Structure 1
Amino acid sequence: MTTYVLIHGAAADAWCWEPLAAELRGRGHEVLAPELPCDDDAAGLAEYADAVVAAIGDRTGGLVVVAHSFGGFTGPLVCARVPVDLLVMLQAQVPAPGETPGAWWENTGYGPARRESDRGRGVPEGAEEDERALFLHDTPAALAEELLTGHQRRQSATPFGTPWPLAAWPDVPTRFLLATGDRFFPPAFLRRHVEERLGLRPDEMPGDHLPMLGHPEELADRLEAYRAAL
């Protein structure tokens, strides 16, 4: 049996994984979706990794880690501490050694890339889209509403000043899965980012910034295909 370990992003809780978790459990797998201490000002990246490692406990073998968005800074740290069969980066930030999450945005050229993408979509310069339009436009309305009204958390700034501590990417098979409809991390930006940082060509599927809500069955299919190919 495979154990899928699902790591959520910033300013949220693990509820965002529920549709995918149900799909994976229905296929006979164990699913762990730990809560990260995102609203704890005493917690940095090490404590985020601690929360995931504690949830894994004494499980060995058959571990697949899926890291979403800001969870990309935590997923590799877990893989450096626990024997993991596969790491899947889902719409995730890819850290560089010694880089703080706060510096990632400028280091990667995110700002200009995002402005170019917004212009291509006809968004006026300086306009701010609401969260549904930016993050959840391809998510069923009821799920988007539940996420925004019941599962948003304050995000502490502490981890954004914490240098990523690994000297290199962990020695674990890694895949990157990109959602082609994401407006927050535009596809063209992520393709370049993943190629530069990981030397990988990302795989692509439909979805917005949270494809686990809008496309859980297809995402489960992708994860299962990755697992079967190991």
Structure 2
Amino acid sequence: MATYVLVPGADGAGWYWHLVLPELRAAGHDAVSLDLPMHDAADLDDVADAIAEAATGALAAARSAGREGGPLVLVAQSLAGFSAPLVCTRLPVDRLILVNAMVPRPGETAGEWWDATGQPAARAARAEADGRRGPDAQFDLRTDFFHDVPAAVTDEAFAAQPGPPPSGVFAQPWPLASWPDVPTRFLQGRDDRFFPLEFQRRVVRERLGLDVEEVPGGHLGALSRPRELARALTGPA
């Protein structure tokens, strides 16, 4: 059994993983999520510190309950691809699993990533292929993120009214000289409209030398296909 620390994306809300957590626990794992620092001055290092603190607490709780607690698995959604790898310089992490994630290069900011990877053109091409043209092709949270999420879950997410991520998270150059020497997997939703599958295949191959593992669902797979995503997270590395 393992300890999973589930890191949310740009909205920073641990709630994002609330449907996956019970699936992992039912399978016998320890699993936690966390709310990320959202104050104006927060940067990637602040986020990584918060993740490391949550991971340390989860391992300690498991041990106090008579469980070994490890191995430690960090799961990073979307923007968390920039922050979760930094935790590997703070703690002995056993595995990294990226889900529909942004993969940084050394010195690149999250603000630069979009044009550097060609994401805007890839998202537009996906919209065109889907028959969404004109105003319908413009970015929209419900259309791009929540198109396959159940209505009740979507309503709950919008009721929370999360704020934008801190500007420092987008402005700080990625501080590592290379990707951490930690076994890494990349799960990508086949119906992701924001980071389309073929776009991610290219970026992940170029930047990590990995093949993506295709999973059901769109960008917010933890909300639309939680059971399937939990199974993929616990599947063979």
Residue 140 of structure 1 deviates from its aligned partner by: 1.2
Paired with 1:80 and 1:202, the residues of 2 have a C-alpha distance of 24
Q: Is the 8 A contact 1:177 1:205 kept in 2?
A: yes
CA separation of 1:25 and 1:173: change in aligned 2, threshold 3 A: same
Instruction: Give yes or no for the alignment of 1:47 onto 2:46.
Output: yes
Out of 64, 68, 82, which is 2:77 matched to? 68
Quick check: 1:137 aligned with 2:136? no
TM-score under structure 1 length normalisation: 0.93
Q: Give the number of equivalent residue pairs.
A: 226
* CA deviation string 1:128-157 (max 9, x = no partner): 253222101111111111112125233221
Structure 2 equivalent of residue 121 of structure 1 = 130
Shift of 1:91: 0.1
C-alpha separation in 2, matches of 1:130 and 1:112: 16
- In structure 2, the residue matched to 1:106 is 115
Q: Is residue 2:66 matched to residue 1:57?
A: no
Of 144, 153, 157, which residue of structure 1 is paired with 2:167? 157
**CA distance in structure 2 between the aligned counterparts of 1:80 and 1:175, rounded to whole angstroms:** 18
For 1:176-208, what per-residue CA distance to the aligned partner results, in whole angstroms no more than 9, with x for missing partners?
001011111111111111111111110001101
Aligned partners of 1:153, 1:193: CA distance in 2, in Å?
28
Over the matched positions of the two proteins, sequence identity in percent amounts to 47
* Segment of structure 1 superposing worse, 172-181 or 118-127: 118-127
Greater than 4 Å deviation, 4+ residue runs: none
Q: TM-score, normalised by structure 2?
A: 0.90
Residue in 2 that maps onto 1:18: 18
Letter matched to residue 174 of structure 1: T
What amino acid does structure 2 have at the position aligned with 1:169? W
Root-mean-square deviation (CA, aligned residues, Å) is 1.5
Task: Find the counterpart in structure 2 of residue 183 from structure 1.
Answer: 193
Shift of 1:79: 2.0
- Summarize deviations over 1:96-118 as a string: whole Å, max 9, x none: 00100000001111122222222
Q: 1:125/1:196 Cα in 2 relative to 1: closer, same or farther (>3 Å)?
A: farther
Q: Which residue of 1 aligns with 2:28?
A: 28
* Aligned partners of 1:13 and 1:151 also within 8 Å: no
Q: Given the alignment, which residue of 92, 95, 103 partners 1:86?
A: 95
Q: Pick one of 197, 204, 220 that aligns with 1:210.
A: 220
The alignment partner of 1:84 has SS state of coil
Q: Quick one: distance in 2 between partners of 1:222 and 1:155?
A: 27
Question: CA contact under 8 A between 1:119 and 1:125: conserved in structure 2?
Answer: no
The answer for the alignment partner of 1:9 in structure 2 is 9
Residues 1:195 and 2:205 aligned together:
yes
The amino acid of 1:156's aligned partner reads P
Question: Matches of 1:52 and 1:94 in 2, distance apart?
Answer: 18
1:185 is paired with a residue whose SS is: coil
Unaligned runs of 5+ in 2: 60-68
Which of 180, 185, 196 is the matching residue for 1:170? 180
Distance 2:235 2:114 in 1: 31
Do 2:187 and 2:213's aligned partners in 1 also have CA atoms closer than 8 Å?
yes
